[in-house]
């Protein structure tokens, strides 16, 4: 009995050892709160909406597949509308927050966001092109995904030409390539048919999960899962990278390769989110900040906690987006309206270290 | 174990000397210490970076245990060589323990993170330096001196065969400087090869081993402290007059003290700029007089 207790104690101490002692307790509480919040939100998201679903009805349908409604409305609402939307919100929130955390660590820059290398601008242009060329959702998504990757690829190639400080070079190249794609997107908007094409482009750019279906989820799930899995497995090494380029090299890190792997994974995650949801800003910037303040800056714990909180946050916001007004409010508007003031509050109150 | 053969490095093709070095050769066995002395900008830091392959020498070679480091991967180098940078500006408030754990990176697989064994090693290193109390403190709230000690702990947790220390005592207090040097001596005794750069000639007398006097990118002299740190050599390299004295402090040892004579004709300049020291002083005293007259008014 005694031996059992002591071994338990030592394992707790061992856990606390990596990634902060005091933060360890806070982190455990915070993570549990997030998990509970996520479960409650998922249940609430099935119930809330224009077509009211009772808890008893929902539970019966989930357990037995029994649908007593006329024409299977319950199945349509729960399985074909709300289920993909819930999953998409969770995936997008988690993906953007994880990618933001990875970029902030990689670039040693607490104001880095998932689209710092121009993935959103590229994807926006791709989506615009898709809307102009065909208007088919599959085409729009594929082009958005492809141009998101392409813009980061261009940034990477441009950054390689600069000899010194490749991290800063990447960020600067990201601004340049993003600028080019924004200009091209403006061009597309200019030539787009103002009756139907232009509104779709504008609406796409504001971000929404309104039309997500199970096929979209399948489309995005593979690159997203692969990207997230890689980010998760290299997350501790972000601590080394955060020490600085040269220092990371003296600690045995092949920084060129590490940066490449991180950028590719984070970009895959971001692009697969953006191509399904459109552009949802501020999450990838603000969520990692809040989490860093609560659980500390060690990326080993920060990355999963950020992903979890991002999922909770976006699912919450998406519920507001679809149920607070008589029309859908685009997600990008809400995340910016909430995110920007919160961010201001954070930088105003956090005089410690910007991080 | 470390052999440097006619190594050279230039930052800029057209620029001569600025921070680079040339024709550097030396070798160091296990347990030996080489201290490198030299004025600001003479190439000490660049040389250390080349020894670590952080910068690749244009000329010559650096090898560890007979193997050229240019052919080694970063983690192969990091398992053999620990490097302590001059200073470090942290971005995120990682805890001291987390910083020390990064020293375990070369011993871990690409996708793994430190386990219990690594945490134990990191704690040992902290304890060995008497820093256990700092373990949970955010690293960027520490003073520069404390950070230097944390870095030494990290480099110990890295368990390398050789240590390259770039001005490791520059921010340490008077007591910690001496303790640090003793520690460096102990580490050498335990079998590490150590290269250390410094601005204190006295420290070279305190450390067992060789001294290299560096100026404008070349080793002017290399050998025992007694042979290298002479009044003539110091004057040639630093442009000031010094006295080498022998004192009884623990044991008989030599110390190097600057001759401080405000009226001496000293025409050398700081950082090799055109302005001579005398002109600088003239400028400062003029300003002082102006300020005085302002106050009188």
Tell me, what's the pLDDT at A1? Answer: 35
Higher pLDDT, B175 or A21: B175
Tell me, what's the pLDDT at A46? Answer: 93
User: Is the Cβ pair A21, B136 closer than 8 Å?
Assistant: yes
Does the CA dihedral A187-A192-A196-A197 come out positive or negative? Answer: negative
B196 touches chain A (CB under 8 A): no
Tell me, what's the pLDDT at A169? Answer: 87
Nearest to B139 by CA among B131, B152, B154, B150: B150
Distance CA A208, CA B12 (A): 52
Range from A340-354, B144-158, B240-254 carrying the lowest mean pLDDT: A340-354
All residues of chain A having their beta carbon less than 8 Å from the beta carbon of residue B93 are 296-297, 352-353, 355
Tell me, what's the pLDDT at A21? Answer: 52
Distance CA A220, CA A225 (A): 9
Tell me which H or E stretch contains A336: helix A331-349
User: Is the Cβ pair A108, B95 closer than 8 Å?
Assistant: no
The ranges assigned to domains in chain A are: 23-349
Give ∠ CA B88-B90-B93 in degrees, rounded to 5. Answer: 145
Given pLDDT bands bounded at 50, 70 and 90, which one contains residue B231? Answer: very high
Both structure tokens of A203: 């609406």
Percent of chain B with pLDDT over 70: 87
Tell me, what's the pLDDT at B240? Answer: 84
User: Is the Cβ pair B99, A110 closer than 8 Å?
Assistant: no
Both structure tokens of B93: 């408030």
* List of chain A residues with pLDDT < 70: 1-23, 163-165, 350-355
Given pLDDT bands bounded at 50, 70 and 90, which one contains residue B270? Answer: low
- Residues A184-216, buried b or exposed e (16+ Cβ, 10 A)? bbeebbeebeeeebbebbebbbbbbbbebbeeb
Give alpha helix (H) positions in chain B.
44-51, 74-80, 96-101, 116-128, 144-157, 174-189, 201-206, 225-228, 231-238, 277-296
Residue A119, class by beta-carbon neighbours within 10 Å (0-12 exposed, 13-18 middle, 19+ buried)?
Answer: buried
CATH of the structural domain B2-237, one choice from 3.40.50.300, 2.60.40.10, 3.50.50.60, 3.30.1060.10: 3.40.50.300
Does the CA dihedral A20-A21-A25-A26 come out positive or negative? Answer: negative
Report the relative pairing of strands B33-37 and B210-215 from DSSP bridges.
Answer: parallel
User: Is the Cβ pair B136, A247 closer than 8 Å?
Assistant: no
Winning range, highest mean pLDDT, from A89-93, A117-121, B40-44, B53-57: A89-93
Q: Looking at chain A, which residue has its C-alpha nearest residue B160?
A: A251
Q: Whole-model pTM?
A: 0.88
Tell me, what's the pLDDT at A224? Answer: 96
Tell me, what's the pLDDT at A322? Answer: 92
Return the CATH class of domain A23-349: mainly alpha
Given pLDDT bands bounded at 50, 70 and 90, which one contains residue B277? Answer: low
Report the relative pairing of strands B162-166 and B193-198 from DSSP bridges.
Answer: parallel
Tell me the average pLDDT across B214-242. Answer: 92
Give every CB contact of residue A240 below 8 A, 6+ residues apart in sequence: A247, A248, A251, A253, B102, B105
Number of neighbouring beta carbons within 10 Å of residue A348: 8
Distance CA A104, CA A285 (A): 8
User: Is the Cβ pair A252, B106 closer than 8 Å?
Assistant: yes
The ranges assigned to domains in chain B are: 2-237
Checking if the pLDDT of B294 tops 60, the result is no
Chain A nearest-CA distance from B102, in A, is 6
Instruction: Determine the distance from the C-alpha atom of residue B181 to the mean position of all C-alpha atoms in its chain, rounded to a whole number.
Output: 12
The three-state secondary structure class of B142 is coil
Asked if B184 and B207 touch (Cβ cutoff 8 Å), the reply is: yes
DSSP letter assigned to residue A137: H
Both structure tokens of B165: 């220390």
């Amino acid at each position: 009995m005694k031996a059992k207790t002591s071994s338990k104690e030592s394992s707790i101490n061992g856990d606390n050892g990596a990634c902060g002692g005091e933060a360890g307790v806070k982190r455990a509480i915070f993570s549990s709160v997030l998990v509970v919040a996520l479960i409650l939100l998922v249940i609430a998201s099935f119930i809330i909406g224009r077509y009211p679903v009772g808890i008893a009805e929902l539970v019966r349908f989930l357990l037995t597949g029994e649908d007593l409604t006329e024409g299977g409305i319950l199945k349509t609402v729960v399985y074909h509308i709300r289920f993909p939307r819930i999953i998409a919100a969770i995936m997008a929130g988690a993906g953007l927050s994880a990618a933001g955390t990875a970029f902030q660590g990689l670039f040693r820059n607490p104001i880095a966001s998932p689209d710092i290398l121009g993935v959103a601008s590229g994807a926006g242009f791709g989506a615009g092109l898709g809307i102009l060329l065909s208007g088919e959702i599959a085409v729009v998504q594929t082009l958005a995904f492809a141009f998101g990757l392409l813009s980061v690829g261009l940034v990477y190639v441009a950054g390689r030409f600069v000899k010194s400080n490749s991290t800063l070079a990447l960020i600067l190249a990201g601004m340049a390539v993003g600028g080019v794609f924004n200009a091209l997107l403006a061009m597309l908007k200019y030539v787009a048919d103002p009756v139907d094409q232009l509104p779709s482009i504008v609406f796409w750019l504001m971000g929404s999960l309104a039309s997500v279906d199970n096929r979209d989820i399948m489309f995005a799930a593979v690159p997203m899962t692969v990207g997230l899995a890689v980010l998760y497995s290299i997350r501790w090494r972000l601590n080394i990278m955060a020490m600085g380029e040269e220092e990371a090299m003296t600690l045995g890190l092949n920084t060129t390769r590490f940066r490449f792997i991180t950028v590719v994974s984070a970009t895959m995650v971001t692009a697969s989110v953006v191509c399904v949801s459109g552009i949802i800003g501020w999450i990838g910037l603000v969520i990692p900040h809040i989490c860093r303040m609560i659980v500390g800056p060690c990326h080993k714990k920060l990355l999963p906690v950020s992903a979890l909180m991002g999922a909770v946050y976006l699912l919450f916001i998406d519920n507001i987006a679809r149920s607070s007004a008589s029309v859908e409010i685009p997600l990008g508007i809400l995340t910016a309206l909430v995110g920007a003031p919160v961010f201001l509050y954070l930088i105003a109150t956090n005089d410690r270290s910007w991080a | 174990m470390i052999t440097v053969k006619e190594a050279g490095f230039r930052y800029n093709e057209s620029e001569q000397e600025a921070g680079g070095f040339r024709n550097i050769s030396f070798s160091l066995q296990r347990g030996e210490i080489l201290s490198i002395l030299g004025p600001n900008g003479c190439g000490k830091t660049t040389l250390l970076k080349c020894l670590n392959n952080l910068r690749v020498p244009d000329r010559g070679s650096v090898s560890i245990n007979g193997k050229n480091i240019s052919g080694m991967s970063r983690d192969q180098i990091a398992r053999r060589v620990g490097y302590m940078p001059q200073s470090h500006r942290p971005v995120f408030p990682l805890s001291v323990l987390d910083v020390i754990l990064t020293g375990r990176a070369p011993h871990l697989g690409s996708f793994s993170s430190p386990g219990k064994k690594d945490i134990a090693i990191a704690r040992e290193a902290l304890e060995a330096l008497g820093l256990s109390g700092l373990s949970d403190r955010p690293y960027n709230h520490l003073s520069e001196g404390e950070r230097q000690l944390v870095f030494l702990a990290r480099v110990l947790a890295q368990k390398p065969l050789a240590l390259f220390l770039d001005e490791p005592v520059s921010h340490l207090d008077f007591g910690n400087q001496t303790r640090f040097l003793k520690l460096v001596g102990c580490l050498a005794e335990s079998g590490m090869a150590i290269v250390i750069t410094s601005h204190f000639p006295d420290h070279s007398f305190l450390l067992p081993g060789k001294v290299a006097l560096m100026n404008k990118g070349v080793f002017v002299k290399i050998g025992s402290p007694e042979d290298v740190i002479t009044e003539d050599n110091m004057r040639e390299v630093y442009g000031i007059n010094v006295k080498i004295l022998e004192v009884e402090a623990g044991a008989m040892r030599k110390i190097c003290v600057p001759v401080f004579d405000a009226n001496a004709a000293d025409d050398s300049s700081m950082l090799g700029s055109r302005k001579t020291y005398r002109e600088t002083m003239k400028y400062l005293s003029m300003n002082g007089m102006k300020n005085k007259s302002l106050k009188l008014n």
